[in-house]
Structure 1
């Protein structure tokens, strides 16, 4: 759970507005270690968590800053995503890996890594009520 909280805080810190870009063909979802996925998107991972069940790093490339995490199990990945989505953000999900960032970064990463995009809960509308 500690890793989820840290990742969620990092997602909030990444913030920013997404850009709407051209949609290109999505390649098959990439597989591999955190380092091999990072190499595919040309970033040097800054490791934050290196445990048996999750490896998580902050990455930055020409598209922006994002969190890249790999998981030992599909179930562990799904539990992490479900918990982290409460903090908002955009999630690019592959088999036992996830990249988290703003909309534009996730779309750009998807062009290289493939995967499916999932959106976190948008809490911005909650602050507008009663104002």
Structure 2
């Protein structure tokens, strides 16, 4: 019995899901050598300082795992977040430090972040907005966090749902 060849579909475009999977695989392959190089051989250069629970994370490293987790952003800002909301649309952690109290919110998709920002636009406040994450805090804290996390400071005037980036 002859075997049937699989049909090809000339001119057919790939689905968005297929493109995303392809991009994820390509991204994984690019990061694989970096991860393998970070394994270390147990030498002094590879060791963390004594008493350190987690390695230091830079803003560049946080962007590699973007969208960053609440815990990663919390470490960058100098706290250990207590998760207070765990939902399909967002995760939110609260941080209490000697210098500030603030919220870190992350989103699995940009549309959820935009909905959150539109809702927050009804109230007055300042936010540090990154790739699918937001930090809610006082302006002086946000300016300090921005040097560690990146992002854009957004001022909500309380007039409507459209956030406008600050000039800072």
Q: TM-score band, normalised by the shorter chain?
A: 0.5 to 0.7
> Aligned residue for 1:50?
86
Q: How many residues align?
A: 97
Once the two structures are TM-superposed, the CA of residue 67 in structure 1 deviates from its matched residue by 0.9
1:39 aligns with one of 60, 75, 82: 75
Whether the 8 Å CA contact 1:63–1:108 is kept in 2: the answer is no
Tell me which protein shows more strand as a share of its residues.
Answer: 1
Higher Cα radius of gyration:
2
TM-score of the aligned structures, taking structure 1 as reference length: 0.66
Deviation at 1:39, TM superposition (A): 1.1
RMSD: 1.9
Q: Using the alignment, how far apart are the partners of 1:63 and 1:122 within structure 2?
A: 26
Unaligned segments of structure 2, at least 5 residues: 1-58, 160-168
Structure with the larger RCO, 1 or 2 (CA within 8 Å, 6+ apart): 1
1:103 match: 139
Does the CA-based 8 Å contact 1:65-1:105 persist in structure 2? no
Alignment of 1:1-131 (within 5 A): 30=63, 31=66, 32-122=68-158
For normalisation by structure 2, the TM-score amounts to 0.53
